[in-house]
Amino acid sequence: MTLMHELDARARCARQKAAAVAAGVPVCFADTLADGGEGPALVVIPPGHFEMGSPEDEPGREPVEGPLRYVRLKHAFALGRCTVTADAFGHYARESGWRPRPDLIQSLGLQPMINLRPREAQAYVDWLSWQTGYRYRLPTEAEWEYAARAGTRTPFAFGKSVDCSQVSYNPAFPYPPGVRRPAGCLPWARLREAGSLPANLWGLHEMHGNVWEMTLSPWCDDLGDVDSDGHAHPSSGAPSRLTTRGGSWFDPAALARSAARRPRLADELDTNLGLRILRELT
C-alpha cells in the first residue's frame, strides 16, 4: 500500500467511526432480537458520494453499466458484514415456520442462504424489523455499489485485477479477461462460506463474487434514470424484474466487478442468488 492509499484508508476509517458515533452504535455491531437471539452482523457505512457505473474503457464493461452517474448518499446506513447465511436464516425459519422446497439444493451453516425468492427475502427483513424495532430492508443498487467500492474507482475494491484468494468466481474465466488462470486457483468453481474471503476497506466480505445479491431497485436497462440520491426507494407497484449485484461463484470474474449488474425476475430463485441486509440508522 502506498503512502497515499494508506492516508486515504485512514480517512475512510475516521469517517466510518464518526458515522457510528453519530448513530450511537459501534462500527461493527448486531441488534438483539426480541426472542433473545442476535441478528446478523452489521457494519456502519458513512455518507458520501461516488461515480456509479463503469467507464467505457473498463475491461468486461457492458452497456447496462453506463452512463456514469454522480450519486450522493446523504445518510449513513448499516450493511450486513456478509450475505445472510443459512444459519442466520434458519433462526427466522424456526420462528416463522418457513420451510424450503424439498426438491431444491440448500446451503448449510455459514454458507450464503440461496434458493430464496425476493418475496421470501422481504419477509425475512420484515421479521428482522419486527424483532429489533429498527427498519431493515434490502439495499438499493446505488447503496450496494457505494458500499462495494469502499472509496475505490477500480473494477474491484481490491484493484484492477483479482485472484481466487480474494474473490469466489469461476476460475476458468479470470480477470482481466483473456489472462491465464492465476496460480493457486482450483480448476473448479465452488461456493465459499460467508466471511471466509478478505473484506474491503469498510469491513464487508464477499461483495465481489460468491452469490449474486438482491437489491431493492427495479431493473432498468442503463443508469440514465438513476436518482442522484442513492437512498431513493423504487416507485409504487410491483416490478417484473429486480436488479442484482456482485457476481457469483460460477460466473466469470468480470461479473463480480463493482459496476456489474444483472436483472432477475421478481419471483426468481437460484443456487447463486442470495441477499445482504441493510439497517437504516436515521
Q: What's residue 120's pLDDT?
A: 97
Strand partners, 265: 241
Closest to 53 in 3D by CA, of 260, 262, 263, 264: 260
String of DSSP letters for 70-107: EEEE-S-EEEESSPPBHHHHHHHHHHH-----TTS---
Write out pLDDT tens, residues 188-227. Answer: 788 999 999 999 999 999 999 999 999 999 999 999 988 8
Q: Is it the case that residue 238 has pLDDT exceeding 80?
A: no
Closest to 26 in 3D by CA, of 47, 3, 8, 42: 42
| Rounded Cα distance, 244 and 40, in Å | 20
Does residue 142 contact residue 52 with C-beta atoms inside 8 Å?
Answer: yes
Within 10 angstroms of residue 37's Cβ, the number of other Cβ atoms is: 15
Residue whose cell numbers read 475516521: 14
Overall average pLDDT of the 93-122 stretch: 95
C-alpha cell at 44: 456502519
| Rounded Cα distance, 259 and 227, in Å | 16
Q: What's residue 188's pLDDT?
A: 79
| pLDDT tier for residue 276 given thresholds of 50, 70 and 90 | very high
- Beta-strand relationship, 212-218 and 136-137: unpaired
| Rounded Cα distance, 19 and 37, in Å | 26
Write out pLDDT tens, residues 31-55. Answer: 999 989 999 999 999 999 999 999 9
**What domains sit in the chain, N to C, each tagged with a CATH number?**
3-280 (3.90.1580.10)
Cα-Cα end-to-end distance for the chain = 34
| Rounded Cα distance, 82 and 180, in Å | 29
Q: What's residue 12's pLDDT?
A: 86
Q: Model's pTM, two decimal places?
A: 0.95
C-alpha cell at 75: 445518510
Q: What's residue 237's pLDDT?
A: 67
Write out pLDDT tens, residues 141-171. Answer: 999 999 999 999 999 999 999 999 999 999 9
Does residue 28 contact residue 81 with C-beta atoms inside 8 Å?
Answer: yes
